[in-house]
A = this chain, B = another copy of it.
């Protein structure tokens, strides 16, 4: 942490500040120049509220120089984390493709799609049972019944399953779920993050919020890890910007940036990023080339009649074509 002292500060005030820092177990180094005085604070300052320091009368500005995340930080954990998703693994060079319908609609539907995506090469099945919808009047998912249908599809195909948890009260229903998804709107639902840290060691697929910075995404992963669950994968699915030509704006540069900042695997979701089925294929190609550790793609047997997100769902045929391209690109992908 660096403190820039106000130009007109008196020596007495600066001495008080130094004493205050030492009282907080911080080791300050003072650099006096013609125009300004700097105080460099080396050592761990994560217990200090940086905004508070900047509000002190004698302080012109303060800047953090250390990352506030630890468990997720590659500096302290240089090796890639490899997460076991009930068989298939992700991270450290292991690549996954997760596919399935936005929402589970019937046992027949989800089993049909599961077979199709497995045939095309998917290694996990996704499907929503509890659905976060902007409108209370939209289809909210089949809930516990939907979970049962997903589990039936798992039994039928052997594909491990990924589904979203919206409420920690539902955690008991998730015993047969392999990977728990925390949705973008819940990225900073800190109570939910703590619960999936405390009560399970199942892999958590943590989606970036619509206005979540990478640092906030990592701090949310930190909540889960600090609560006891180290099996976290981060998922980029686009952020909200002024551009309305796509549903969200997806900056694939986050893949190499996250790989530098953290040892956790990085998943890309081309379906939610674009909101348009025809754009899923090219974005999946780019995400693969830039080194994503997994893709998660919405596939529906009959998109025009899907109960949600039909517009962004690939058909099984489109998905098979995407898988074929992804397989060719993987050997060239950035590592």
Contacts and interface: CB of A to CB of B under 8 A. Distances in A.
A52 B311 contact: yes
Copies of this chain assembled into the complex:
4
A306 B36 contact: no
Q: Give the residue among A61, A283, A287, A289 with the most B Cβ atoms within 10 A.
A: A289
Interface residues of A, number: 110
Contact of A256 (B46, B189, B257, B282): B282
A246 B253 contact: yes
A152 interface: no
A29 interface: yes
Interface stretch (A80-88, A116-124, A236-244): A236-244
Interface in A1-23: 2, 4, 7
A51 B68 CA distance: 23
Given A135-B222, A285-B290, A241 B244 contact: no
Contact of A249 (B40, B239, B334): B239
Contacts of A209: 211
Q: Which 7 A-B pairs have the closest CB atoms?
A: A33-B42, A211-B211, A29-B31, A51-B311, A289-B289, A31-B40, A55-B311
18 contacts: A2-B2, A2-B38, A2-B40, A34-B43, A52-B303, A55-B276, A55-B311, A68-B135, A133-B190, A134-B219, A136-B227, A214-B245, A241-B249, A244-B244, A249-B251, A285-B332, A286-B290, A328-B332
